[in-house]
Amino acid sequence: MVAVAARYGVSSSFLARVCARMNVPRPERGYWAKLKVGKAPSRPAFPPAEPGCELEWARGGEARLFQPRLLSPPPRRRRSTTPPITPRPDIHPLCSGVRHFFVEGRVSQTGYLRPLKQLLVDLFVSEASLDRALELASKFFLDLEDHGHRVVIAPVSEKFHRPDLLTSEHVNKNMIRWESWSPCRPTVVYIGSVAYGLTIYELSEQAEVEYGDRTYVRVTEATRLRRSRYRHPDFAWTHTEAMPSGLFALRAYSPYSGVKWEQHWQEKEAGDFLKRFDDIRRTLKRTVESVIEQVEEEKRREEERHRQWELQKIKWQREAEERRKREEEQRKREEYKRSREQLLAVIESWSLACRIEDFFESVEHKAKTVGDEEREEILARLETARQMFGGTNVLDHFERWIPANPPDSEADPSEYEDDDEPA
């Protein structure tokens, strides 16, 4: 562990936990000492990956995703075959050592626990019922695993979802996400290779409550609530609210995207859930084929949606390309039109310059017939006037023109001609 952990930049104990989580065999304590004296046990075979088992690990959780397995029902056992007796813990690993995470978290206004830690077993109960809920969950999970159904927190690569939870029909649906709690990954049991999400929650019942200290308290259990100085000490505003009842319910649901299957089992009296494990297990096994059909149907619908999306993208790309071509053609037309108008303006300015130059030449010719002093004054003013205009050099005028290529498509020449110009 020390040598291998150094390659990944983690501690040996951390890598040991990763191996345990992925069911990877590793040398037991004292193995290397026994190996030196030739008494080391043989290397165990690498076990096959169980449903829901993580196949890869990378530091920081950046493991590559793998192809999902084909869903299949559990194999049928022969009646004469007795399942092997394997040692198991008294408490299921998902329910061991997690109580303080629930207790040290937040509490909703109605009294349900809302842990800050998100990677926990899926329980939604009050603090008064927490111990019994953990005990019930542990017994139920161990019973499922005794019959070959693995119970784990869903691996990241599965992309499972958990629907919102209603503890009773009286719960305000608009307050579900604000009041309830849900883990970051659902707790699932694998029946064969088909996963079912499991939620153990405490049922709620309508009760008359008073509001104080940011929580609701049943009127029958309330002592004198802290009131503001503006209220009469004998007056307290009460109303009905959905409060924890102390009875549990189990929700089994399909965590596969697009598959809506959900069933609930409720306690009629505290403790009668232990008698219903067989019924719950048989119901899950009986619905495996139906869930597989729904998953396959959803896969086909997803493939069809993906195909339609690809066709839509191609359509959008073609429309964008055609729009780009039209805009490019329009830009070329506008540039060509501006260039033509500029050229006409250059010709017009050169024509005006020629007429002005004819006037200047006439003035210069007439200036020769006057006296010297007057002629010098006229010629100086004539030079100033010539500088005011651009002169008559045709190249100077032509260099100011910005040429443009004609558009690609054939256009009507009249589009670029003014009404008052000859074609």
Q: Is position 242 within any domain?
A: yes
Q: Is position 314 within any domain?
A: no
Mean pLDDT confidence for 391-403: 69
Band of pLDDT at residue 209, cut at 50, 70 and 90: confident
On the question of pLDDT at 364 being above 60, the answer is: yes
Tell me what pLDDT residue 226 has. Answer: 46
Tell me what pLDDT residue 229 has. Answer: 43
Band of pLDDT at residue 62, cut at 50, 70 and 90: low
Percent of the chain with pLDDT over 90: 24
Instruction: Tell me if 57 sits within 8 A of 18, measured CB to CB.
Output: yes
Do 258 and 379 sit in the same domain of this protein?
no
Lowest pLDDT segment from 104-108, 150-154, 253-257, 346-350: 346-350
On the question of pLDDT at 42 being above 60, the answer is: yes
Mean pLDDT confidence for 95-115: 88
On the question of pLDDT at 158 being above 90, the answer is: no
66-80 CB burial, b ≥16 within 10 A, e <16: eeeeebeebeeeeee
Q: Is position 226 within any domain?
A: yes
Do 7 and 140 sit in the same domain of this protein?
no
| Domain boundaries, position 388 | 331-416
Band of pLDDT at residue 201, cut at 50, 70 and 90: very high
Do 265 and 376 sit in the same domain of this protein?
no
Tell me what pLDDT residue 76 has. Answer: 65
On the question of pLDDT at 2 being above 80, the answer is: yes
Band of pLDDT at residue 144, cut at 50, 70 and 90: very high
* Mean pLDDT rounded to a whole number for the chain: 80
Angle at 135 between CA 291 and CA 222, to 5 degrees: 110
Q: Which amino acid is at 316?
A: W
Residue 53, burial from CB neighbour count under 10 angstroms (0-12, 13-18, 19+): middle
Do 217 and 347 sit in the same domain of this protein?
no
Lowest pLDDT segment from 85-89, 95-99, 214-218: 85-89
Q: Is position 339 within any domain?
A: yes
* Maximum C-alpha span of the chain: 143
Q: Looking at the 3D structure of the chain, how many domains does it have?
A: 3
Do 143 and 262 sit in the same domain of this protein?
yes
Q: Which of 8-12, 206-210, 323-327, 334-338 has the highest mean predicted lDDT (pLDDT)?
A: 323-327
Band of pLDDT at residue 64, cut at 50, 70 and 90: low
The pLDDT tens digits for 224-280 are 544 444 444 444 577 787 788 888 999 999 999 888 899 999 888 887 888 889 999
Q: Is position 278 within any domain?
A: yes
- Where is the domain boundary, 270, 286, 302? 286
Band of pLDDT at residue 383, cut at 50, 70 and 90: confident
Q: Is position 306 within any domain?
A: no
The pLDDT tens digits for 400-413 are 777 777 776 544 54
How far does Cα 35 stand from its chain's mean position? 50
Mean pLDDT confidence for 347-352: 80
On the question of pLDDT at 198 being above 90, the answer is: yes
Q: Is position 205 within any domain?
A: yes
Tell me what pLDDT residue 85 has. Answer: 44
Tell me what pLDDT residue 51 has. Answer: 74
Lowest pLDDT segment from 4-18, 294-308, 349-363: 349-363
Q: Is position 423 within any domain?
A: no
Do 381 and 272 sit in the same domain of this protein?
no
Which carries the bigger pLDDT value, residue 336 or residue 167?
Answer: 336
